[in-house]
Amino acid sequence: MLGLGLTARIFYVYILYMKQQRKFQYRYYDVPPDSHVLALLGTNWIGHYGGQDMLHFHNCLEIGYCHAGRGTVTYGNKKLLYEKGMFSVIPAQHSHDTESSPGSICHWEYLFINVNEFLKKMMPKNAFARTQLLRQINNNALLLRHDENPHIANLVLSIMTEHRTRSDLFLWSVSGMLQALIVYIARLGCDDQPVAQLSESIGVIAPSLDYVDSHYSEKITVSALADACYLSETHFRRLFVQTMNISPLAYINRVRVEAACRLLHDTSESIGNIAVKCGFITITVLNRNFKEIIGVTPTQWRREANIRDRKLADNVILPYEGWRGV
């Protein structure tokens, strides 16, 4: 693996995916909240890729552009050939790996995008549109040619250039291009389900998503979410799972755990107070859900984050055990 001379906050988690008895690596990227994009650029990403036979996945959307070299990109069980002038679009939680051809020195550069938070900022009151875009973006991992998709490729390269130069109005420029990029990628991610049918189901459950976003610190029942959508509880549960690929209760817990992650990193509040602020009735319930979703306890998360931040100047990447693959 290439060396990482980064100023970004990154840590790796090594996990064992028990169903397949195969090692995966989870890579968490702390994306800047002002731009919602972390750009990994420059000579750190020139070298021979692969050799560890370990698929990995991320907490956010990864877009990689190949400037030089050739090799293979593995998406789950599928292998595709890449070469100069191609770029990859890999949604969060999609397992993948990049491997150079024998003797080939490759140069990739990357954008890691927190699509969910960016869409919340752009469309804070429109869960319907946010969820539709996310569903289409997260549908498939893609390997594309620049010459066949110049509009997308040029947006990727322009965002990289903005991060390289950081000229006047940098954040405004990135935000505008990012909106266009997300729409183009979403169009590529349409699946076999008719868009009209998907849009209708998302529109029906959208009030429940807004409700969870606004009330996750409070007690939330599935019946209350069903009422917000004017559905019976049975119909709501079925439609929610069909649309979101997750149960309502699991969705609530994920939103709460994400909020806990932010507070653990950004504040010095006690874990007990954080549990209450995020809607968990006791610290025990927080610990159980946090470890189930993240793979470590809140205390471990905070300790690793603090150590990582203190040693940023030394470019230390800290691994810890425990992520459970999804």
Q: What is the pLDDT of residues 82-141, one digit of tens each?
A: 999 999 999 887 778 899 999 999 999 999 998 988 988 888 777 767 777 887 887 778
List the CATH number of the domain containing 271.
1.10.10.60
Same domain, residue pair 117 and 218 = no
Cβ atoms of 63 and 156 closer than 8 Å:
yes
Residue 194 or residue 45, greater confidence? 45
Q: Which of 16-25, 52-61, 228-237, 283-292 has the lowest mean pLDDT?
A: 16-25
Same domain, residue pair 27 and 122 = yes
Please compute, for residue 93, the number of CA atoms within 13 A of its CA located in the half-sphere on the CB side.
12
Q: Which residue, 285, 289, 293, 297, is CA-closest to 324?
A: 293
Euclidean distance between the first and final Cα of the chain, in Å?
A: 24
Burial class (CB in 10 A: 0-12, 13-18, 19+), 21: exposed
**Bridging pattern class, strands 22-29 and 10-17:** antiparallel
Number of domains in the chain: 3
Same domain, residue pair 73 and 216 = no
Q: Is residue 306 part of a domain?
A: yes
Confidence of residue 301 (pLDDT cuts 50, 70, 90): confident
C-alpha separations of 283 from 173, 217, 250 in Å: 42, 14, 18
The most confident of 70-84, 153-167, 205-219, 234-248, by mean pLDDT = 153-167
Domain end residue (candidates: 245, 272, 287) = 245
Which pLDDT value is given to residue 14? 36
Q: Is residue 258 part of a domain?
A: yes
Which pLDDT value is given to residue 226? 92
Cβ atoms of 86 and 147 closer than 8 Å:
no
Residue 217 or residue 214, greater confidence? 217
Domain end residue (candidates: 227, 245, 263) = 245
d(CA 234, CA 239): 9
Q: What percent of the chain has pLDDT over 90?
A: 41
Q: Is residue 87 part of a domain?
A: yes
Q: Is the pLDDT confidence value at 326 over 80?
A: no
Tell me the average pLDDT across 141-153.
94
Same domain, residue pair 148 and 224 = no
Domain range holding 221? 192-245
Which pLDDT value is given to residue 88? 95
Q: Is the pLDDT confidence value at 300 over 50?
A: yes
Which pLDDT value is given to residue 4? 36
Same domain, residue pair 196 and 179 = no
Same domain, residue pair 174 and 43 = yes
Please give the mean pLDDT across all residues of the chain: 79
Same domain, residue pair 203 and 64 = no
Same domain, residue pair 79 and 142 = yes
Q: What is the pLDDT of residues 27-47, one digit of tens each?
A: 767 788 888 999 999 988 999
Tell me the average pLDDT across 226-249.
87
Which pLDDT value is given to residue 200? 55
Same domain, residue pair 145 and 226 = no
Q: Is residue 58 part of a domain?
A: yes
Q: Is residue 299 part of a domain?
A: yes
Q: Is residue 14 part of a domain?
A: yes
Same domain, residue pair 127 and 82 = yes
List the CATH number of the domain containing 99.
2.60.120.280
Q: Is residue 147 part of a domain?
A: yes
Q: What percent of the chain has pLDDT over 70?
A: 79
> Which DSSP string corresponds to 191-255?
-SS-HHHHHHHHHHHHHHHHHHHHHTTS---HHHHHHHTT--HHHHHHHHHHHHSS-HHHHHHHH
Q: Is residue 2 part of a domain?
A: no
Same domain, residue pair 49 and 152 = yes
Same domain, residue pair 257 and 150 = no
